[in-house]
Amino acid sequence: MVSAAEMLSIAAFLEGRYAQAFPSFGSERMGAPVMAFCRISDRPIRLREPVTEPDALIIQDPTLLHQAGLFEGLQLPGGYVLINSSRSIDELGIGSYVGDHAVTVAATELALRFVGRPLPNSTLLGAFAAMTAELRLESVLAAIRQKFAGKIGEANAAAAQAAYELISRSDTREKIHVEAD
Amino acid sequence: MWKQIEGSRAVAETVAMCRPQVICAYPITPQTHIVEGLGEMVKSGALAGCEFLNVESEFGALSVAIGASAAGARTYTATASQGLLFMAEAVYNAAGLGLPIVMTIGNRAIGAPINIWNDHSDSMSMRDSGWIQLHAESNQEAADLHIQAFRLAEELSCPVMVCMDGFILTHAYDRIDVPLQQQVDAWLAPFEPRQVLDPAAPVSIGAMVGPEAFSEVRYLAHHKQLQALDRIPEISGEFLEAFGRESGGLLRPYRIEGADTIVVALGSVTGTIQEAVDELRADNVAVGSISICSYRPFPLEAVGRALSDAKRVVVIDKSLAPGLGGMLATDVQMALSARRQRVYTVIAGLGGRTITKASLVKLFLQARADALESVTFLDLNWDLVNRQLSREMATRRSGPAAENILKDLGALPSKI
Amino acid sequence: MPFYQIKFYQTGTFTVGNRLLEDSDRAVQSDVKRSNALNSGHRACQGCGEALGARYAVDAAMRASGGNLVAVNATGCLEVFSTPYPETSWQVPWMHSLFGNAAAVAAGVAAAMKAQGRTNVRVIAQGGDGGTADIGMGCLSGMFERNDDVLYICYDNEAYMNTGVQRSGTTPAGARTATTPSVGSQPGNVFGQGKSVPLIAMAHGIPYVATASVANLHDLEYKVEKAVPIHGARYIHIHVPCPLGWGSEPHDTIKVARMAVESGLFPLFEAEFGEVTERTAIRRRQPAEEYLKLQKRFAHLFRPVRDEERIAAIQGIADRNIRRFELENGGAS
C-alpha cells in the first residue's frame, strides 16, 4: 500500500502540485491494517500527521471490511471509496457506510491478467484516477512507470489503464463529482 | 532539480554531491534507506572516488569515520537511537579530536521499551558531546543542511549531526529541490584538514592530557561552539545566496509579532504547529512559534530575543527528562533566565505518538488561559497509567510494566 | 624463515652476528639508517617486552614501506608510555582514538588512503591483548571479515597491565592477576578454554597471520617485513613479557620469552588464508615449569606446596601446542 501512496504523490507532482506520502507510524498489531497516506494540495504541505479525515479511501484488502472503524473519519457526503473486490458495493453489504461515491474494481484479477502477479496497487490507482478525476490518467501512468522500470512498468501501466477504462464506462460514473481541494 | 522522492533518498543524493571520500555505516531503522542509497551510488560508480564500508557495529562505524577523517578524507555516516548510544564513546572522541565528520541522525526513541519510531531522545543524549546539532524542519531542509554541515564542520574542525525525524521525514515522499552537482561543487571546497596523518609530516594525534592542560583544551571546545553561533547564520546566508532558498540558521520565527504566547519546538512538528498557529490567528488569537534549527550550539541570545515580548512560552518537547520535565524546555528556560515569562513544558510525540493540529490548537488555548501545569504530557492515556500504578500497589510481582500496558491497550480502541 | 647458526642475538650496530650476515639478512635494528619510529625518551618500565617488540616491529614496518607508514594505537601501555603529554616518542604519523577501536580506525585510515589514491601508504594498528582480544574483538573481526588493508599487531603481555594487571582473555591458566588473585582453593586464573586470537584470525581466512616473540627479534622483523607489502587484512601476535605484571626480572625478559617458545606454550608459526604454512621448530624442549618458575605470577603453583595437578595441566597445554603445530622433529624451519 505504501508504494500506491508514493505513486499517487508522484502523479500529483507531475501535474505541478504539492504532495506528501508516508506510511502509517504507530504500532502495527496483529490484525491491524497497514496504512499509507497521501496528501495532495496546491500549496506547500506543512502538516505532519496521519490523515484521519480522508477525502478518499482506497482499500486494497477486502478482508478488512469487517474491521471496526475502517471508514471512521471518511468525509461524507462526497468522500470516495475504492475497494479492491470482484463483488459490488451492494453485494459487500456496506452501502450505508460508504456514501454515494463508492466503487469496487477487481484490481487483483486485472493485475494477474496484465502483470502476472496479484499486486493490485497500480491497478487501483488507475481506477482512482477515473473515479475521482483528481488526477489525470497520464500522470498516474507516468508515476507507475517511474516507480517500476521496463516491462514491469509497462504491464502495471496497462493494468491501471484497463481499470481506468472500466470505471469510466461503468454506471457509477454518473454519481461521481469532481471535488475541489 | 525538483523531484518527488523519499526524504532519505534526497539526503543520500545530496550527500553524494558533497563528494564524500569515505562512507561507513551500520544499518538501523530509520536510517537504512539513506545508507542503502549511498551504497548503491558507490557500487554503481555514480559516486566515484568514495570508499563505502559495511561495518560490524555503530561503534565500528564512527571509529572508521574517525580514522578516515584523521587521514584527510571527507567522511560521512548515519545512525539513530540505540546505534548512537552504542557509538557514544566514539562520539565524544570525534568531537574531542576535532574531526569534521558529518553524521545524519534519523531521530528515533531510545529503549527500553524498544521503539522504532520518532522522538528526540537519541540526539539529545549526545547534546553535550561537543558535536554541532542541527535539526531539519522538512525534508528539503534535511537535504540542504548536509551541504551546509560539511562546510561548517570542515571550517571549524568540529563534527556535525544533522537531525531529521525518523519516519515522519525519512520515510515521507515530498516535493524536494535536489541541487545540481555543479552548484554543490561551486559552493563546497575540497576538504583541507587542520591536522592529518601523513607520512610526509608525522604528527601524533590523541595524546593523554592531564590536569595541567585538560581545562584549556576543553575551553577551546566551548569556544568552538561559540564560534559556530556566528558561522551558522552566515553559512545559511551564503547558502541562500547560492541556492536561492532559506535553510538552516539558528532559529526560524513564525508570526511571533504581537504574539502573547509563543510555541517552541525542534524538527518536523513545526509544520503542524504553523498550521495550528494559522488557524488560531484566523480567530484573532495571538499565538506564534519558533523552530530552533541549531540546537547545539544553543542560541541562548537569539531565543531570548525572540521570546522577549511573549507573556508565555509553550515548549513542545519530544525529549523527556524523567523526574524533571523536558530537555529542550530546560534549555529554553535558560534563555529566559532573566525574564518573567511563564514556561509550559509539554512532553509530546514520544516514541512516535502523533501530534495533531487539533490537539495543538486545544493546547495553545489552554496555555493562553494559563490553565496548564508547568509540565504536561500531551494526549497521555491516564487510564492506562493508573491501571498499571494500581497493579503495582496491589502486588509485588506485578510483571513487566510495558507488557501489562500493551495487554490493556489491546482491549481499548486503537489509537494512532 | 632465514637459517643461521650464530648464537649471539644482535642488539646493536656492531654485534658479531650481523657482521657475518649478508646485508639482506641483517636485522633492521643493525642499520644506522633505521627509522627509530619509537624513539627513546618513552616511559616504559625497565625490561618492558612491549617497548622492545614495538621498536623492532615498527622500524621493520618502516623499512618495508619505504617510510610510508601510518600507525593507529589502541589505549594501553604502549600508547600511554609513548605519549606522555606534552611529549611523543613517535616519529611516524600516529593516532590514538579509543580502547576497542584500533582495528576500525585503521580501516578508516586505509579507506581514506585508497580514496585518495595513495595505496602505497601502509597502515598498521597496534593494541595490547586487552584492546585486541577482549574489547576490540568486534572491530577486529569486522576488519578481518572485510579484508581491510591493515596490518594489526597485537602485543600480548597477557593482562590489562596499564590499569594494574587485571586478567584479560589471553591471561594463561593459573596466572595470578589483580582480578584472579592467588587465594582460595583455586588460586590464579581459571583453567578455561582460552582465547587464541591467531587462530581466530586464521578462521577469518585472511592473507597472513603470524605469531612472534621478543625471544626471536630477527624472526619478528622478518614477519613484519613480509606482512607489510601484502594488501588485505593481516595479523601478527607478539608475545611480550611484562616484568612488572609477570613478576619476572627486568633483565630476564628475553629469557622468559624464549622459555615460553621453547616449552611450547607460545608456538611460533605463520599461516596464510587460514592454513599454517611455516612453524619454528623448538630447538631444545623445555619443561613448562621451568618457564613458570621464572615468574612470580605462577609462584602459588610451587609454594607452599607444589600443585602437581595444575602444573601438569599447564604441561598438557604445552604438549598439545607442540603436537598441534608440529613444533618438534621435522616441523619446518
Q: Across all residues in chain B, what is the average pLDDT?
A: 95
Chosen for mutation from B22, B23, B63 (greatest number of chain C CBs closer than 10 Å) is B63
Residue that has been written with the C-alpha cell 505504501 in this structure: A2
Q: For residue A6, is it within any domain?
A: no
Closest by CA position to C278, among listed C210, C213, C220: C210
| Residue B319 DSSP SS3 | coil
Average pLDDT in the C239-251 region? 97
Domain boundaries, position A76: 54-178
Nearest to A181 by CA among A132, A119, A110: A132
* 3 state SS of B291: strand
Q: How many residues does chain A have?
A: 181
d(CA C18, CA C14): 7
pLDDT band at C332 (very low <50, low <70, confident <90, very high): very low
- Using a CB–CB cutoff of 8 Å, tell me whether A64 touches chain B: no
Domain ranges in chain B are: 2-243, 251-377
| SS3 annotation, C212-251 | EECCCHHHHHHHHHHHCCCCCCEEEEEECCCHHHHCCCHH
With a cut of 70, say whether residue A181 has pLDDT above it.
Answer: no
Of A10, A24, A26, the CB nearest to B4: A10
Contact between chains at C95 and B206 (C-beta distance less than 8 A)? yes
CA distance B253 to B275: 14
pLDDT at B403 over 90: no
The average pLDDT across B1-10 equals 97
Question: Please, what is the average pLDDT of chain A?
Answer: 86
Helix A121-132 with A137-147: angle, nearest 10 deg: 160
List the one residue out of B167, B97, B137 whose CA is nearest residue B265: B137
pLDDT score of A146 more than 50:
yes
Structural domains of chain A, count: 1
Helix (H) or strand (E) holding C155: strand C151-156
- Tell whether the model's pLDDT for residue A115 goes beyond 70: yes
What are C68-125's pLDDT values in tens digits?
999 999 999 999 999 988 899 999 999 999 999 999 999 999 999 999 999 999 999 9
Q: Which helix (H) or strand (E) holds B165?
A: strand B160-165
Distance set, CA B309 to CA B261, B371, C297 (Å): 9, 20, 72
Give the Cα separation of C284 and C263 in Å (integer): 8
Asked, for residue A98, whether it belongs to a domain, the answer is yes
Does the CA dihedral B220-B225-B229-B230 come out positive or negative? positive
Within an 8 Å CB–CB cutoff, is residue A29 touching chain B? yes
| Position with higher pLDDT, B145 vs C331 | B145
Q: How far apart are CA A146 and CA A143, in angstroms?
A: 5
pLDDT digits (tens, 9 = 90+) for C158-185: 999 999 999 999 999 999 999 999 999 8
Residue with cell 491494517: A33
Cell, residue C172: 594463561
Put simply, the chain A residues between 67 and 126 with a CB less than 8 A from any chain B CB are 69
Residue A28 has pLDDT above 70, yes or no: no
CA proximity to C15, closest of C26, C2, C5, C4: C26
- Asked if residue A31 is part of any domain, the answer here is no
With vertex at residue C287, the alpha carbon angle to CA C285 and CA C293, rounded to the nearest 5 degrees, is: 130
Model confidence at B253, in pLDDT bands (50, 70, 90)? Answer: very high
When scoring C43, C80, C82, C113 by the number of chain B Cβ atoms within 10 A, the one with the most, hence best to mutate, is: C113
Taking CB atoms and an 8 Å cutoff, what residues of chain B touch A23? 167, 171
For chain C, the structural domain boundaries read: 18-324
Write out chain A residues lying below 8 Å of B357, CB-based.
Answer: 47, 49
CB atoms A26 and B355 under 8 Å: no
State residue C85's pLDDT score: 83
Do C139 and B50 make contact, defined as CB atoms within 8 angstroms? no
Q: What is the separation, in whole angstroms, between the first and last Cα of chain A?
A: 23
CB C153 within 8 A of CB C74: no
Phi, psi angles (nearest 5°) of residue C269? -155, 170
Q: How far is B59 from chain C (nearest CA, A)?
A: 8
Q: Flag whether residue A9 sits within 8 Å of chain B, measured between CB atoms.
A: yes
B317: three-class secondary structure by DSSP:
strand
Indicate whether A101 belongs to any domain: yes
Mean pLDDT across chain C = 92
What integer is the mean pLDDT of B378-389? 91
In A, which residues are within 8 Å of B4 by CB distance?
Answer: 9-10, 12-14, 19
- Measured from the Cβ of residue C331, the count of other Cβ atoms closer than 10 Å reads 18
d(CA B237, CA B244): 10
Q: Using an 8 Å Cβ cutoff, are C239 and C257 in contact?
A: yes
Give the pLDDT band of residue B62 (cuts 50, 70, 90): very high
Best CA proximity match to C318, nearest among C279, C293, C283, C287: C287
B325: left (phi over 0), alpha (psi -120 to 50) or beta: left
Q: Are strands B320-321 and B325-326 parallel, antiparallel or unpaired?
A: antiparallel
Q: Is B56 on the interface with C (CB under 8 A)?
A: yes
Amino acid identity of C4? Answer: Y
Does B205 sit within 8 Å of C104, measured CB to CB? Answer: no
Tell me whether residues B173 and A46 touch, CB distance under 8 A: no
pLDDT at site A178: 35
Which residue type sits at B306? Answer: A
Q: Which has more confidence, A99 or A18? A: A18
Q: Indicate the range of B152-161, B360-369, C78-87, C264-273 predicted with least confidence.
A: C78-87
User: Residue B406: pLDDT band by 50, 70, 90 thresholds?
Assistant: confident
pLDDT of residue A78: 87
CA proximity to C127, closest of C87, C73, C172, C177: C73
CATH for the B2-243 domain, from 3.10.580.10, 3.40.630.30, 3.40.50.970, 3.40.50.1450: 3.40.50.970
| Confidence band of B350 (pLDDT split at 50, 70, 90) | very high
- 3-class SS of residue B321: strand
User: Which chain B residue shows the shortest CA-CA distance from A44?
Assistant: B175
User: Is B275 an 8 Å CB contact of chain A?
Assistant: yes
Q: CB B6 to CB A6 under 8 A?
A: yes
For B361-383, give one letter per residue: b (16+ CB within 10 A) or e: bebbbbbbeeebeebbbbbeeee
The partner residue sitting opposite B67, judged by closest CB among C86, C108, C145, is: C108
* Cα dihedral C244/C250/C256/C258 (nearest 10): 130
- What percent of chain C is modeled with pLDDT above 70? 93
pLDDT score for C223: 98
The verdict on whether omega for the bond into residue C93 sits within 30 degrees of 0, i.e. cis, is no
pLDDT at B294 over 60: yes
Residue where the block lists cell 594505537: C73
Amino acid at the residue C172? P
Separation CA B277–CA B289 (nearest Å)? 7
Domain made up of C18-324: CATH architecture: 3-Layer(aba) Sandwich (3.40)
Q: Is the pLDDT of residue C331 over 50?
A: no
Largest CA distance in chain A: 42
pLDDT at B229 over 50: yes
pLDDT tens-digit profile of C22-52? Answer: 877 788 887 777 889 999 899 999 999 999 9
Cα B313 from chain centroid (whole Å): 21
Sheet containing strand C122-128, edge to edge, reads B204-205, C94-96, C69-73, C122-128, C151-156, C234-239, C208-213, C269-272, C275-279
Nearest CA-CA distance, residue B221 and chain A, Å:
36
Collect all residues of chain B within an 8 Å Cβ-Cβ radius of residue C68.
Answer: 199
CATH of span B251-377:
3.40.50.920
Q: H/E element holding A141? A: helix A137-147
Closest CA to B13 of B36, B21, B29, B22: B36
Q: What is the CATH number of the domain that holds A153?
A: 3.40.920.10
Q: Is the pLDDT of residue B306 over 90?
A: yes
pLDDT higher than threshold 50 for residue C2: no
The confidence score (pLDDT) of residue B415 equals: 44
Which residues of B fall within a CB distance of 8 Å from C131?
Answer: none
Distance CA B93, CA B104 (A): 17
User: What's the confidence (pLDDT) of residue A31?
Assistant: 54
Residue A19 lies in a domain: no
Q: Do A32 and B175 touch (CB under 8 A)?
A: no
Q: What percent of chain B has pLDDT over 70?
A: 99
What is the interface pTM, i.e. ipTM, of the complex? 0.91
User: Residue B107 belongs to what H/E stretch?
Assistant: strand B102-107
Residue (of A147, A58, A141, A70) closest to A107 by Cα position: A58
* Partner C contacted by B198 (CB < 8 A): yes
Cα distance between residue B369 and residue B320, in whole Å: 24
Query: Alpha-carbon dihedral of residues B382, B387, B392, B394, nearest 10 degrees?
Result: 140
Q: What is the pLDDT of residues A147-173, one digit of tens each?
A: 999 999 999 999 999 999 998 887 554
Q: At residue C139, does pLDDT exceed 50?
A: yes
* Chain B stretch 5-44, residues whose beta carbon is closer than 8 A to a beta carbon of chain C: 21-22, 24
To probe the interface with B, which of A8, A34, A49, A145 has the most B CB atoms within 10 Å? A49
